[in-house]
Amino acid sequence: MTTNATTVPAYAAPAAHAPLERTTVPRRAVGEHDVLIDIKYAGICHSDIHQARDGWGEGIFPMVPGHEIAGVVAEVGPGVTKHKVGDRVGVGCFVDSCRECEYCLQGLEQYCTQGMTGTYNALGKDGEPTYGGYSTHIVVDENYTLRIPEGIALDEAAPLLCAGITLYSPLAHWQTGPGKKVAIVGLGGLGHMGVKIAHALGAEVTVLSQSLKKQEDGLKLGADHYYATSDPETFTKLAGTFDLIISTVSAPLDFGAYLSLVKTDGALVNVGAPEEPVALNLFSLIGGRKTLAGSMIGGIAETQEMLDFCAAHGLGAEIEVIGADRINEAYERVIASDVRYRFVIDTSTI
The residues that touch ligand NAP, with contacts defined as CB under 6 A, are: 45-47, 50, 162, 166, 186-191, 209-210, 214, 248-251, 271-274, 295-297, 334, 337, 339
Q: Are 194 and 248 in contact (CB under 8 A)?
A: yes
The Cα–Cα gap between 170 and 246 comes to 8
Among 13, 37, 39, 45, binds Zn ion (CB under 5 A): 45
| Residue 113 Cα distances to 56, 104, 110, angstroms | 20, 8, 9
**Residue 110 is a binding residue for Zn ion (CB under 5 A):** no
The Cα–Cα gap between 280 and 261 comes to 15
Of 162 and 221, which has the nearer Cβ to ligand NAP?
162
Contacts of 98 (CB under 8 A, 6+ apart): 104, 112, 113, 114
Q: At what angle do helices 163-173 and 300-312 cross, to 10 degrees?
A: 100
The Cα–Cα gap between 240 and 91 comes to 39
Sign of CA dihedral 103, 105, 110, 115: positive
**Residue 246 is a binding residue for Zn ion (CB under 5 A):** no
Among 162, 183, 198, 292, binds Zn ion (CB under 5 A): 162
Of 337 and 349, which has the nearer Cβ to ligand NAP?
337
**Residue 190 is a binding residue for Zn ion (CB under 5 A):** no
Least distance CB 42 / Zn ion (angstroms): 11
**Residue 136 is a binding residue for Zn ion (CB under 5 A):** no
**Residue 47 is a binding residue for Zn ion (CB under 5 A):** yes
Least distance CB 336 / ligand NAP (angstroms): 9
Of 47 and 229, which has the nearer Cβ to Zn ion?
47
Beta bridge partners of 317: none
Of 151 and 294, which has the nearer Cβ to ligand NAP?
294
Query: Residue 307 belongs to what H/E stretch?
Result: helix 300-312
**Residue 267 is a binding residue for Zn ion (CB under 5 A):** no
**Residue 35 is a binding residue for Zn ion (CB under 5 A):** no
Give ∠ CA 225-230-233 in degrees, rounded to 5.
65
334 binds, among ligand NAP, Zn ion, none (CB under 5 to 8 A by kind): ligand NAP
Query: Where along the sequence are the contacts to Zn ion (CB under 5 A)?
Result: 45, 47, 162
